[in-house]
Amino acid sequence: MKESDIYPLKNTTEKSSKLSLLLDVAKQNEEHILSSRAAFSKDHTRYYGQEEDHRLPYKRDVDRIVHSKAYARYTDKTQVVYLVDNDHITHRGLHVQLVSNFARGIAELLSLNLDLVEAISLGHDVGHTPFGHEGERYLSTQSKKHGGTAFAHPLQSCRLFMEIEPLNLGFAVYDGFLCHDGGMKDRHLTPNRNKTWEDHFTEQQLKRDEPDANIQPATLEGCLVKTCDTMSYVGKDIEDAISLGILKREDVPKTILGTNNREILKTLATDIITNSYEKDYIEISEEVYEALKALRQFNFRNIYTHPKLKVESSKVKHSYRILFEIILEDYRKNKESSHIWNAFLFNKSDKYCESIDEVQQVVDYIAGMTDRYFVRTLNKLIVPTTIPI
């Protein structure tokens, strides 16, 4: 018989002590490996308190995000193109992986915290609606029509992992989610390092009141993801458009960035690293910034509003209105026997059910749907079926 069989508590205590020591060493190593301007594990904070674990805290945040239900739904969330039968076109899940891959490659050379970069990258878009930015506009319209607030997916990403599927992530992760949009409004991003949790909730309210508000991240890692988000989709969307036959390679503007995704990403990464190395900001050069803006404007004119990709737009818009109204009316009439209760609210916390109003609950339910689930739910609630007698 082993001593551990007789004294299991002692054995557990020794293991816990050794684990704590190893984590302390890992945190100390960060100070030798990372830039002095990086986000360190020793400064990581959770709103509901720290938790013991074998992983460094930002790594734990990455794992929580990847194992979440919201992350699983990425695979059927629109990035740009929806309702097209082509398995090689970018969906939301691929997009966040591309952002993570691109940003981590840059962060490694800038000696930033790779786990924080990955956590922000992988979770920043969980708040997106079915049918992408188009769906976001339609859902926002319905929310305001029924007395709710405007919809903003960066805020929804925070709320999803705070209130709907709470993960108790680190402050810098939620901050990165909330601040990730608006990356093209400035070529120079300096972190606002003095933020507190109170500031974060104030900025959440700002985003609720002004969905287009451009908020500066608290960390260099957040600034990097904010910049890389746009960079990661501009070239990839061009490649997708060429694959779909709505663009030809020769249509792409000739800029210093190149005309294919590989060239574009290489030029952008080189420029960020050159201009941001050992600096307390993330910056791209003026000429690269102007070229990127020109390419993004080209995409808006020739891809994002292309008639072939908007054939079903009016149906999607009407579907949002019909689905929202039916779900809300059914909920108000039938409460705990309603569709939304049985499909969404039944396993939510008492705090969520009591503090979130009915309109916002419907917004949260629809926003979390995948494209296919949106269509299935619409069919289930709208389309007549055979009556079993």
Residue 15 has pLDDT above 80, yes or no: no
**Mean pLDDT value across residues 246-254:** 96
Rounded to whole angstroms, the Cα distance separating 95 from 117 reads 15
pLDDT at 385: 87
What 52-55 contacts at long range (C-beta under 8 Å, 24+ apart), as own/partner pairs, is 52/16, 52/20, 54/19, 54/23
Structure tokens at 160: 């999803």
How much of the chain, in percent, has pLDDT values that exceed 90?
89
Looking at every residue in the chain, the average pLDDT score rounds to 94
Residue 386 scores a pLDDT above 90: no
Rounded CA gap, 225 and 232, in Å?
10
Residue 73's pLDDT is 97
Is pLDDT above 50 for 179?
A: yes
pLDDT for residue 21 is more than 90: no
Residue with structure tokens 């990127």? 292
Mean pLDDT of 364-381: 97
pLDDT at position 51, please? 85
Q: Find the mean pLDDT for residues 327-354.
A: 97
Give the residue-averaged pLDDT of 340-350. 97
101 CB neighbour count, 10 Å cutoff: 14
Q: How many CA atoms lie within 13 A of 150 on its CB side?
A: 13
**Predicted confidence (pLDDT) per residue in 182-191, tens digit:** 999 999 999 9
Band (13; pLDDT cuts 50, 70, 90) = low
Are the beta carbons of 244 and 89 closer than 8 angstroms? yes
pLDDT, tens digit (0-9, with 9 covering 90-100), for 151-173: 999 999 999 999 999 999 999 99
Tokens 């995000």: give the residue: 65
Given a contact cutoff of 8 angstroms between Cβ atoms, the answer to whether 244 and 87 are in contact is no
Is the pLDDT at 8 greater than 70, yes or no?
A: no
Query: Is residue 238 within 8 Å of residue 252, measured between CB atoms?
Result: yes
pLDDT of 85 reads 86
Query: Which residue type does 222 have?
Result: G
* Cα–Cα distance for residue pair 309/241, rounded to 1 Å: 10
CB atoms within 10 A of CB 139: 25
Question: Torsion angle, CA of 121/126/129/133, rounded to 10 degrees?
Answer: -10
Q: What is the pLDDT of residues 48-78, one digit of tens each?
A: 998 888 899 999 999 999 999 999 999 999 9
Residue 1 has pLDDT above 80, yes or no: no
Judge whether residue 9 has pLDDT over 60. no
| pLDDT tens digits for range 273-320 | 999 999 999 999 999 999 999 999 999 999 999 999 999 999 999 999
d(CA 172, CA 222): 8
pLDDT at 84 over 80: yes
